[in-house]
Amino acid sequence: MDWEQRFRDDTTPWERKGLHPAFVDWREAGAFADLTTVIVPGCGRSAELKGFAALGKSAIGADLSATALAWQKAQLDKDGLSAELIEADILLWRPDAPLDAVYEQTFLCAIPPRLRAEYEEAVHAWLKPGGKLFALFMQKDEPGGPPYGCSIPAMRELFPAARWAWPDSEPAAYPHPSLSGKPELAMILTRR
């Protein structure tokens, strides 16, 4: 997938055009209250990076696409907000100090499944013990992608209980408005 070209062509069916309802629900429930540092890997042109900046968080947005990051900067500047913007293959990046949270939205389902173990390693390395992974796991039965399906059994294998505490509650489902209504399951995993 040539992500940069997709942004230049404005062919971005994964975008929600506004804050994800799960972000809003988590924010209203106070789930972000204790966070200071948060990264949005593969942030693209999603609104949540600015959403975290608006909450006063030290937010990092990372993407391969210069066009997407320029869009993020323009959105932040418009409201006098700031965030760190990193143009890089984020799977290879590591922070100077561990972070409080990762906000995962249509990034894991976008990368080739062969990179998933690398992603889990990276997220584990980014977070401090007790850090949170706010995950929106894309549900899709058909083979292929992107988006590649992130079934809960596959996610439990990828994020094993020895390294991640899973919530006891059933996940809330948020149908995607443009990806044929595919549900994203919202879950907060805690890094051990």
Ligand X SMILES: C[S@@+](CC[C@H](N)C(=O)[O-])C[C@H]1O[C@@H](n2cnc3c(N)ncnc32)[C@H](O)[C@@H]1O
Could you list the residues that contact ligand X (CB under 6 A)? 3, 14-15, 42-44, 46, 62-65, 68, 89-91, 105-107, 110-111
Helix (H, G, I), strand (E, B) or coil at 91: helix
Between 63 and 100, CB nearer to ligand X: 63
Strand partners, 173: 185
Report the nearest approach of ligand X to the CB of residue 161 (Å).
26
Phi then psi for 139, rounded to 5 degrees? -100, 125
Between 46 and 139, CB nearer to ligand X: 46
CB 59 within 8 A of CB 123: no
Report the nearest approach of ligand X to the CB of residue 159 (Å).
18
Report the nearest approach of ligand X to the CB of residue 185 (Å).
15
Report the nearest approach of ligand X to the CB of residue 77 (Å).
19
Between 68 and 187, CB nearer to ligand X: 68
